[in-house]
Amino acid sequence: DTGVSQDPRHKITKRGQNVTFRCDPISEHNRLYWYRQTLGQGPEFLTYFQNEAQLEKSRLLSDRFSAERPKGSFSTLEIQRTEQGDSAMYLCASSPPGHDTGELFFGEGSRLTVL
Partner 1 sequence: KQEVTQIPAALSVPEGENLVLNCSFTDSAIYNLQWFRQDPGKGLTSLLLIQSSQREQTSGRLNASLDKSSGRSTLYIAASQPGDSATYLCVAKLVFGAGTILRVKS
Position 26 contacts partner 1 (CB under 8 A): no
Beta carbons of 74 and 34 less than 8 angstroms apart: no
Beta bridge partners, 44, equal: 36
Taking the complex as a whole, the smallest distance from the CB of residue 81 to partner 1 amounts, in Å, to 27
Position 108 contacts partner 1 (CB under 8 A): yes
Taking the complex as a whole, the smallest distance from the CB of residue 4 to partner 1 amounts, in Å, to 8
Position 62 contacts partner 1 (CB under 8 A): no
How far is it, in rounded angstroms, from Cα 79 to Cα 101?
26
- The residue (of 27 and 71) whose beta carbon lies closer to partner 1 is 27
How far is it, in rounded angstroms, from Cα 46 to Cα 80?
15
Q: Which residues contact 97 (CB under 8 A, 6 or more apart)?
A: 28, 29, 30, 31
Position 109 contacts partner 1 (CB under 8 A): yes
Which residues would be at the binding site for partner 1 (CB under 8 A)?
Answer: 33, 35, 40-45, 48, 91, 93, 99-109, 111
